[in-house]
Chains A and B, each alone.
Chain A
Amino acid sequence: MTALAVENLWKEYGDQVVLENVSLSIAPRSFVAVVGPSGCGKSTLLRILLGQERVSRGRVTLDGAPLPVEPGPDRGVVYQRYSVFPHLSVLGNVMLGPELQSARFLGRTFGAARRRLAEDARKMIADVGLSGAEGKYPAQLSGGMQQRLALAQALMMKPRVLLLDEPFGALDPGIRSDIHKLMKRLWHERPMTVIMVTHDLREAFTLGTRVIALGRIRDLPEEAMRYGASITKDIEIWPPRVAGGQTLFDTEIPQGRDDPPVDTIPTGRPDPATET
């Protein structure tokens, strides 16, 4: 069962081959981290999955059906920058998606529908830890808060696939680890597949269920144009992370102890030794 399948994908800009022969099938509810050196086509792959760019050769399917040729509400996105709208307040940003979806002419809802929507939006804002900032504009928020807002805005559409393009790359380490916790929780709680492009290996292994490395197999300067990047490593995280479950590595160890009692550690898969 695959949520998203990429078959023999090639992407060329004129003479320049960017991606060559990329094949990938992504299971539903997985959290795939795509890593690789700068300029190796990570973001291009993400833009293709988003529907912003077309493939040169090959095909991409979402639940067996060819991917729509333009972005739509089934695939949410959070970028490193410019993910939220500067002219809308926090509440306005979070309400925007459902408003656009329900009011196809004015793009605004009124009366009881609006109040219901505002209530949903407030819950979502609280869920990402932005309570109290509803009336602020994005320019009044810190970088980390803006990314929380961008996540809330995207999640209001209940996307099947959430695409993240270096979403936490510009944040301070402390803020980044906070938002990693949030990201993990959101992925556990919501029925979505996440694909995250990042250049931070640590981040990739902290969050992902699977890490995919893109890279150029042939890297001679004189042939750089004619050979694109391909998948060089495909690593399943072990012990496997399961959406909604926890593994050894995800256990929060209380302060003051370095060693939690064994029986309190949940495992990702049933342990044959304890089975009768």
Chain B
Amino acid sequence: MRLINQQFSPAARAALRLTPFILLIIVYFIGSAARLADNPGDKLLPAMSSIANAVDLMAFTPDRRTGEYLLWTDTWSSLKRLGAGLGISTLLALVIGISIGILPFFRALLSPFVSFISMVPPLALLPILFISLGLGETSKIALIVIGVAPIMIRDLAQTVLALPREQIVKAETLSASSWLIALRIILPQALPRLLGSLRLQLGPAFLFLIAAEAISADSGLGYRIFLVRRYLSMDVIFPYVAWITFLAASADFAIDRFRRWLFPWSEMEGGK
């Protein structure tokens, strides 16, 4: 039988899915044990026990100086920035993307400009943002928006342009105005794609967030990682990275579920 026609039972498939994760953990344990056997003071690959200690210290013990639980304060400040950045980007994509997609005026006015802006490397703008917007929250949110919004706008405009012209003409024969076409025909069909685009931009958004926090912040997941880096505290960095990954993966999963629940037709053949 050809390899491309291989089929697996549900149990075998579950085992295959878990294998890479288990392998990763095993490799870590072996590496960690080998290094610790050489040098019990090794900080590069800490043992599970010291990681558990660090997690307990960061997440479940109040900080001696401020009385706060650091992991949760960091998570909260990071998620606020991320939420604001992605929220603004989504809103911009919705308004500008749909305008470019359906109105020839905005297409001529904005389409080349947005393509141009999306080529600016956002991290190169970071110093400019810090200088002009200060070191507070604004510059961090602005970095996420600049990094994420132009791509979302372009993607959404493409989606709208790809809708069959027949649909638009049909809506016109059903007496729809430009506004009603946008509201009842374009918007509902663009939203599933917008959510998909948002999922894809979660990774870049976290990248920009952590870059901004690494340079200047007083709390945040990226701030903490770059703070403890000075002490080579891998026992804190590893759980933080795992936590960030978990947050991003859950958001990804949740957005997809939300899309399926809200737009059941977008799962069917013919719906996009």
Residues of chain A whose beta carbon lies under 8 Å from any beta carbon of chain B: 50, 52, 70-73, 75-77, 79, 81-87, 96-97, 100-101, 104-108, 137-140, 153-154, 157, 159
Contact = CB atoms under 8 A, between A and B. Distances in A.
B165 to A, nearest CB: 8
B174 A82 contact: no
Interface of B: 164, 166-167, 169-177, 179-180, 183-185, 188-189, 263-266, 268-272
16 contacts: A70-B172, A72-B175, A81-B164, A81-B166, A82-B164, A85-B167, A85-B171, A85-B185, A85-B189, A87-B265, A87-B271, A100-B175, A105-B179, A106-B183, A137-B271, A139-B270
A159 B166 contact: no
A83 B270 CA distance: 12
B166 A71 contact: no
B166 A82 contact: yes
Contacts of B164: 81-82
A243 B72 CA distance: 75
A157 B173 CA distance: 8
Specify which of B173, B179, B183 lies most central, judged by the most chain A CB atoms within 10 Å of its CB. Answer: B173
B174 A96 contact: yes
B138 to A, nearest CB: 35
Nearest to A71: B172
Contacts of B263: 87
Contacts of A154: 173
> Which 3 residue pairs are nearest across A and B when measured between Cβ atoms?
A139-B268, A97-B174, A71-B172
A235 to B, nearest CB: 28
Contacts of B174: 73, 96-97, 100-101, 153, 157
B265 A139 contact: yes
Contacts of A82: 164, 166-167, 170
Majority secondary structure, A binding face: loop
Contacts of B264: 137
A101 B173 CA distance: 10
A96 B180 CA distance: 11
A77 B188 contact: no
A71 B173 contact: yes
B173 A86 contact: no
Contact of B173 (A50, A107, A138): A50
B262 to A, nearest CB: 11
A139 B271 contact: yes
B166 A138 contact: no
A39 B169 CA distance: 21
Contacts of B184: 96, 100, 107-108
A215 B96 CA distance: 45
B156 to A, nearest CB: 16
B147 to A, nearest CB: 30
Contact of B180 (A77, A81, A83, A104): A104
A101 B183 contact: no
Given A82-B167, A85-B171, A96-B174, 15 more contacts: A71-B173, A72-B173, A73-B173, A75-B173, A79-B170, A83-B170, A85-B189, A87-B263, A96-B171, A96-B184, A107-B183, A137-B265, A139-B271, A140-B268, A157-B174
A157 B265 contact: no
Given A82-B164, A85-B185, A87-B189, A138 B270 contact: yes
A108 B183 CA distance: 10
B169 A157 contact: no
